[in-house]
Amino acid sequence: MLVGKESFCDFHTIQEAIDSLEQQSSTKHETLYILSGVYEEEVRIYRSHLTIIGIGYVEIIMNRYAKELGETGEEIGTFATPTIFLGGSHLILENLVIVNSAGQGKDVGQAVAVYAHCDETVFRNCTLRGHQDTLFTGPLPPAPKERLVFGGVHLREHHHQYRQLYQNCYIEGTVDFIFGGATAYFEDCEIRSLYPGADTIGYITAASTPKGQKHGYVFRNCYLTAASNVPAVFLGRPWREYAKTVFVDCKIGGHIHPLGWDNWSDAANEQTVCYQEQGVQNADELRKHRVPWAGCFEKEEVTLGKEHVFTGSDFWKREGK
């Protein structure tokens, strides 16, 4: 199936193609190709067993934001803002640029580019652009901190596990721009911090790893970079108290705050989080400055390859045919 602006294409919008595919059996793996172009649309995908491949430069862009007022006159909230929502499993996305262009500031708040409420999903050679809350890796925590309900995109399916692999991707943002509860593995990715605005602190991750889940976020052979005007950025802070995040053999730029990690203004989190850096350069010097409650700088004590993190599955090896 082919999406594009040309007359020979099956569909001219991505959502039209998805709607058609979701009327078919979801047990057969289908492939959707998208021709080069900029697609200004919100995309909602509930289907499983699907590969989406961009041909050339394919950009999917929208500008919804948390402070935006909905039909009832109330703010729509973070989880109503994604440019793309993924709700199924056995998904592959390749060569896509996914953007939330709402910008940043107090009048904007959070603005999600990708809402990945999905299992056994692979992102390859994708670019995710946004500011605060660029990438949400489901599941949601049991309850919100401030609102009665999370709201946002309707969730039709809940998965037993949420396993996601990001390979050779570029992800940018300012505050908590990779957040959520998934077991998510980032391999050979560039993680770029943007200027968060005056008097605002930047944070790369805000994991909400469920209690008892063996792995949260694993960054392996990634590159942590920043725009030229970015002040010190923290590696992460816990959106929920059992957050797990580890950086393994990553190249870390000078923009990272010497303390490394933040406890989200709650010292109790220091007793429950699992934050680690392994195989980093200048480990002896970094150890002098990092918060004492974060993990060691030694070589990994356990194997953190994909095979170990995603025990019992090899979903990243499947060709989707």
Which residue in 19, 176, 249, 284 is the catalytic one? Answer: 176
The residues with which 136 forms a beta bridge, in sequence order, are: 115, 179
206 SS3 class: strand
Q: Is the CB of residue 181 less than 8 Å from the CB of residue 161?
A: no
- Largest Cα–Cα separation, the chain: 62
Angstrom distance (rounded) from CA 267 to CA 9: 56
Distance set, CA 133 to CA 33, 82, 93, 255 (Å): 27, 10, 20, 19
Which helix (DSSP H) or strand (DSSP E) does residue 170 occupy? strand 170-173
Distance set, CA 307 to CA 32, 212, 304 (Å): 28, 19, 8
Angstrom distance (rounded) from CA 113 to CA 123: 14
Give the residue from 215, 130, 139, 145 showing the smallest Cα distance to 180: 139
The number of CA neighbours under 13 Å toward the Cβ of 319 is 1
The number of CA neighbours under 13 Å toward the Cβ of 11 is 16
88 SS3 class: coil
Amino acid at 89: S
Close Cβ partners of 44 (under 8 Å, ≥ 6 residues apart): 15, 18, 85, 87, 153
176 is catalytic: yes
The token pair at 296 is: 């060691």
Amino acid at 140: L
Would you please indicate which residues are annotated as catalytic (active-site) residues? 176
